[in-house]
């Protein structure tokens, strides 16, 4: 099946959004970082509580723990400090975007005002927007304001199109519907969350930089290379957040286009064709845009199936942010757990982060398979390579592990471990794609995706969760061994003398994961899912095509 | 007669052309035209901002919705040319049209929608023919199709011719030059009271 005839039939709404998962990964990563930062700050500032003092095992030194109440309230205060600038920034920017505009009711555009009111009523929005004319918006439009009290701002040149009739009037309707689609999809809330995350990311990063510079200035062990590393991390982490947030906002624009143009696709195509003429076509700059490139936007308007296409860059972003989250969560759990619970932290981290990463990967692969009609081996290898680079690289970007005293962090850059990660991801990609391909053969229009997802998502979650738990445990143990072997007293330990600690640890990890019930569940999920999907497809084959096989939009 | 001058308001001239060509935009003229009259670089700056897609949750489309912005730009262009002396301006029109990049860096407003003093001699029929060609070329450079650009140029020249005739009628009725200038300035000042330097606004896209 070619790309074009697929595009004409796919129900793009049937697919879960990989970018929404990517955004959730970003949110989890930033919020975990914020929490870590707040707790670290609280522990530094909290007074000691000597009513629960104990003697250290190494000698007669009285050890007073930090006051738990003060740590708790300090953590809340720290979170407040990190998150409030984003809230204030959003409120300020929203106010800027609606100031000095005149109400549409009092403007000379009476006919247009009536039409907009009718479109708002038809959209059945949770909160009706205040209608304004933005004199300097020209023929543009936007929604702004607090999410609970939205404002729809329209440019006078756009409003003038209403009275011109014909195609101009249809374009006017499409642009207004596009903006109302943002409100229907609660994009103002999403924009609010994106803004808070971006600001907190930058704020916490800047604070860490400040701390490192102070440390450097006081000669407390920090070196110029520490400073350089911290600066690089802050910049890259902030850039990572920005790239994901903007990719997410671009997807919202595509979605709003498709929803807004559902009633009049010709007008949507005409509006986009006219509206993007002369816009920048720079591919690199496109990553930092809030709106898709003109060519991409027109492409999706012409063939909505294009919205399913994935890119190596997007997969890399997803894997990188998961890498950050792996390291942050691992460090957080390790600090919170007692000695007995520490070994389980790698398992928990692997499952908690690996599961959404697996789903993100699966959704991206399935969406692209339906878009392209097939997935070649080259793409699978490239995907596994990109994910390996992302996870390994991202784990070294985590900010707060380094600053707060851990000397080594991140996925060990050991060839054996990297090869293991790559092979594991390649197998996962191949198996996930095979699941999708089996269903695609009998459902190229994606009319029965819910049934497929009901079967495939749990199976993928079990296999992916298990795989990442295994891989992360391997990585974290090697990390721990390297950390331990750096100490003088451990130099003679056999594992530290081993020429290939990665292989030795792999053996111990396999022994840890040899639980028969777990293995049975994983193998059952890996084998049964494709068989069931194939059987379901055979049962359906021969039946007439479902009459409600929808076109690409609505 | 050769030294006589007429004060023409940019806003008034543009409104007259819009009344002829797009009567449906007359009621909203002030709302649409004001940013372009206030800031001649507005069109170019706004278009450059929109070229990057605009802020989040905006339409991100740079649509040519109304005729008014184009009219404001080309009338500003015509007035600038007339005020400087059409001959000198039109002789360089080719260089001016291709030199739009330089226009982008020119920050200071040249009329800001205010009244511009134009020598009466520049409104003579022979001169207006050159203005028509210049305006048509400018409109086409702004992306207006050749047919519509010709209509637009005719409308601009028509408005200027009307202003010249009004001026001649006043001359024939023996009105004193001081009174005539005062009346003209007063009429022009209704739309733009602050006289300012001449302007050729940026194209809207």
Distance CA B153, CA B133 (A): 7
User: Are A175 and B63 a contacting pair at CB < 8 A?
Assistant: yes
CA angle B148, B149, B153 (to 5 degrees): 120
Chain A residues in contact with B38 by the CB 8 A cut-off are: none
Question: Chain A 396-425, CB below 8 Å of chain B: which residues?
Answer: none
Q: Does A166 touch chain B (CB under 8 A)?
A: no
Is residue A378 pLDDT above 80, yes or no? yes
- The pTM score is 0.80
Reduced DSSP (H G I as helix, E B as strand, rest coil) percent helix, strand, coil of chain B, to 5? 65, 5, 30
Mean pLDDT along residues A127-140: 89
β-strand pairing of A151-154 with A54-55: unpaired
Query: Cα A376 from chain centroid?
Result: 25
Distance CA A543, CA B160 (A): 75
B189: confidence class by pLDDT, cuts 50, 70, 90? very low
Interface of B with A (CB under 8 A): 24-25, 27-28, 31-32, 34-35, 42, 46-47, 50-66, 68-69, 204-205
Closest-CA distance, B204 to chain A, in angstroms, reads 9
CB A63 within 8 A of CB A53: yes
The partner residues of B116 in beta bridges, in order of sequence, read B8
Nearest to B60 among A133, A156, A253 (CB): A253
Residue bearing the bigger pLDDT, A218 or A138? A138
Distance CA A85, CA A200 (A): 7
Nearest to B57 among A171, A187, A272 (CB): A187
Is residue A369 pLDDT above 70, yes or no? yes
Backbone angles phi, psi at A55, to 5 degrees: -90, 135
Chain A residues in contact with B69 by the CB 8 A cut-off are: 138, 157
Distance CA B205, CA B199 (A): 17
A333-342: pLDDT as tens digits = 887 787 777 7
Q: Provide the percentage of residues in chain B whose pLDDT is more than 70.
A: 60
Nearest CA in chain B to A179: B59
**Predicted local confidence at residue A401, as pLDDT:** 65
Nearest CA in chain A to B25: A160
Task: Supply A23's token pair.
Answer: 């955004």
Helices (H) and strands (E) in chain B, counts: 10, 2
**Predicted local confidence at residue A221, as pLDDT:** 65
Mean pLDDT along residues A407-427: 88
**Predicted local confidence at residue A509, as pLDDT:** 86
Backbone angles phi, psi at A141, to 5 degrees: -160, 155
Residue A448, SS3 per DSSP: coil
**Predicted local confidence at residue A120, as pLDDT:** 95
**Predicted local confidence at residue B201, as pLDDT:** 36
**Predicted local confidence at residue A58, as pLDDT:** 55
Nearest to B52 among A159, A277, A289 (CB): A289
ipTM surpassing 0.85 = no
Mean pLDDT along residues A232-248: 85
Is residue A277 pLDDT above 50, yes or no? yes
User: Which residue of B21, B59, B142 to mutate against A (max A Cβ within 10 Å)?
Assistant: B59
Task: Supply A454's token pair.
Answer: 């009901």
Task: Supply A291's token pair.
Answer: 């709106």
**Predicted local confidence at residue A505, as pLDDT:** 86
User: Which residue of B35, B44, B65, B148 to mutate against A (max A Cβ within 10 Å)?
Assistant: B65
Average pLDDT, chain B: 70
Length of chain B, in residues: 205
Distance CA B123, CA B6 (A): 9
Mean pLDDT along residues A378-402: 89
Residue A257 CB neighbours (<10 A): 29
B57-109: pLDDT as tens digits = 888 887 877 899 989 988 888 888 787 664 454 455 544 544 444 444 444 44
Task: Supply B79's token pair.
Answer: 């007035």
**Predicted local confidence at residue A82, as pLDDT:** 87
Residue in B204, B44, B51 with CA at minimum distance from that of residue A294: B51
**Predicted local confidence at residue A400, as pLDDT:** 65
Chain B residues in contact with A181 by the CB 8 A cut-off are: none
CB A432 within 8 A of CB A365: yes
Highest mean pLDDT among A72-76, A285-289, A327-331: A72-76
A160: confidence class by pLDDT, cuts 50, 70, 90? very high
Distance CA A341, CA A11 (A): 47
A63: confidence class by pLDDT, cuts 50, 70, 90? low
CB A66 within 8 A of CB A49: yes
Is residue A475 pLDDT above 80, yes or no? yes
**Predicted local confidence at residue A239, as pLDDT:** 85
Chain position carrying tokens 């607090």: A146
DSSP B102-123: HHHH--S-S-TT-EEEEEGGGG
**Burial (Cβ within 10 Å: 0-12, 13-18, ≥19) of residue A537:** middle
A17-32: pLDDT as tens digits = 877 888 888 888 888 8
Non-local (6+) Cβ contacts of A296 within 8 A are A286, A306
Is residue A254 pLDDT above 80, yes or no? yes
Residue bearing the bigger pLDDT, A131 or A238? A131
Lowest mean pLDDT among A63-67, A539-543, B59-63: A539-543
The partner residues of A55 in beta bridges, in order of sequence, read A62
**Predicted local confidence at residue A372, as pLDDT:** 87
Distance CA B205, CA B48 (A): 8
Highest mean pLDDT among A49-58, A364-373, B157-166: A364-373
**Predicted local confidence at residue B105, as pLDDT:** 43
B174: confidence class by pLDDT, cuts 50, 70, 90? low
Mean pLDDT along residues A526-551: 68
Non-local (6+) Cβ contacts of A175 within 8 A are A141, A158, A260, A271, B59, B61, B63
Is residue B180 pLDDT above 70, yes or no? no
**Predicted local confidence at residue B188, as pLDDT:** 43
CB A19 within 8 A of CB A248: yes
Is residue A550 pLDDT above 70, yes or no? no
Question: Chain A 281-300, CB below 8 Å of chain B: which residues?
Answer: 285, 289-292, 297
């Amino acid at each position: 099946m070619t790309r074009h005839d697929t595009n004409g039939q796919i129900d793009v709404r049937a697919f879960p959004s990989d970018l929404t998962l990517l955004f959730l990964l970003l949110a989890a990563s930033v919020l975990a970082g914020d929490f870590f930062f707040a707790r670290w700050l609280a522990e530094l500032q909290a007074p000691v509580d000597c009513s629960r003092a104990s003697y250290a095992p190494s000698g007669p030194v009285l050890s007073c723990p930090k006051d738990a109440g003060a740590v708790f309230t300090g953590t809340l205060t720290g979170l407040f400090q990190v998150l409030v600038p984003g809230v204030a920034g959003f409120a300020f920017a929203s106010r800027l975007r609606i100031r000095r505009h005149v109400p549409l009711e009092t403007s000379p555009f009476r006919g247009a005002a009536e039409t907009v009111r009718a479109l708002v009523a038809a959209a059945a929005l949770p909160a009706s927007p205040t209608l304004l004319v933005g004199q300097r918006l020209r023929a543009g439009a936007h929604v702004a304001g607090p999410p609970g009290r939205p404002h729809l701002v329209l440019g006078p040149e756009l409003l003038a199109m209403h009275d011109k009739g014909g195609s101009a009037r249809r374009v006017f309707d499409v642009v207004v519907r596009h903006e109302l689609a943002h409100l229907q999809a609660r994009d103002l809330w999403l924009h609010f969350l994106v803004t808070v995350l971006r600001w907190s990311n930058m704020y916490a990063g800047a604070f860490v930089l400040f701390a490192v510079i102070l440390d450097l200035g006081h000669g407390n062990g920090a070196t110029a290379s520490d400073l350089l590393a911290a600066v690089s991390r802050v910049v890259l982490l902030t850039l990572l957040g920005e790239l994901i947030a903007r990719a997410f906002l671009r997807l919202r624009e595509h979605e709003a286009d498709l929803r807004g143009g559902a009633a009049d696709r010709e007008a949507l195509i005409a509006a986009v064709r006219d509206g993007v003429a002369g816009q920048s076509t720079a591919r690199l700059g496109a990553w930092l845009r809030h709106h898709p490139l003109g060519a991409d936007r027109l492409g999706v308007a012409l063939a909505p199936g294009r919205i399913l296409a994935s890119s190596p860059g997007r997969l890399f972003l997803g894997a990188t942010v998961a890498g950050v989250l792996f390291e942050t969560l691992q460090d957080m759990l390790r600090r919170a757990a007692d000695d007995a619970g520490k070994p389980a932290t790698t398992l928990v981290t692997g499952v908690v982060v690996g599961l959404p990463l697996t789903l993100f990967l699966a959704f991206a692969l399935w969406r692209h398979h339906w878009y392209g009609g097939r997935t070649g081996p080259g793409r699978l290898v490239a995907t596994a390579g990109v994910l390996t680079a992302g996870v390994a690289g991202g784990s070294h970007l985590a900010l707060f592990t380094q600053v707060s005293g851990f000397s080594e962090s991140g996925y060990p850059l050991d060839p054996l471990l990297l090869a293991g990660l790559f092979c594991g991801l390649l197998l996962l990609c191949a198996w996930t794609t095979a699941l999708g391909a089996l269903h695609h053969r009998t459902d190229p229009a994606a009319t029965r995706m819910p049934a497929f997802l009901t079967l495939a998502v749990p199976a993928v979650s079990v296999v992916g969760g298990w795989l990442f738990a295994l891989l992360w445990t391997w990585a974290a143990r090697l990390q721990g061994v390297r950390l331990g072997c750096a100490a003088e007293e451990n130099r003679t330990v056999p594992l530290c003398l081993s020429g290939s600690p990665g292989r030795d640890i792999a053996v111990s990890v396999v022994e840890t994961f040899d639980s028969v019930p777990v293995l049975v569940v994983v193998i059952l999920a890996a084998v049964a899912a494709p068989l069931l999907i194939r059987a379901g497809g055979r049962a359906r084959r021969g039946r007439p095509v479902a009459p409600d096989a929808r076109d690409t939009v609505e | 007669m050769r030294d006589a001058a007429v004060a023409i308001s940019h806003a008034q001239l543009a409104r007259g052309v819009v009344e002829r060509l797009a009567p449906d935009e007359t009621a909203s003229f002030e709302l649409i035209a004001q940013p372009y009259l206030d800031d001649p670089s507005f069109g170019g700056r706004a278009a450059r901002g929109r070229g990057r897609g605009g802020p989040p949750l905006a339409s991100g489309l740079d649509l040519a919705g109304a005729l008014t912005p184009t009219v404001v730009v080309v009338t500003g262009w015509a007035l600038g040319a007339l005020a400087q002396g059409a001959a000198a301006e039109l002789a360089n029109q080719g260089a001016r049209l291709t030199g739009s990049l330089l226009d982008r860096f020119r920050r200071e407003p040249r009329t800001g929608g205010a009244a511009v003093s134009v020598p009466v001699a520049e409104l003579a029929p022979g001169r207006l023919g050159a203005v028509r060609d210049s305006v048509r070329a400018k409109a086409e450079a702004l992306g207006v199709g050749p047919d519509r650009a010709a209509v637009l140029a005719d409308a601009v020249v028509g408005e200027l011719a009307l202003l010249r005739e009004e001026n001649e009628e006043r001359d024939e009725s023996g009105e004193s030059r001081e009174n005539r200038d005062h009346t003209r300035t007063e009429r022009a000042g209704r739309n733009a009271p602050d006289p300012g330097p001449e302007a050729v606004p940026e194209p809207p896209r």
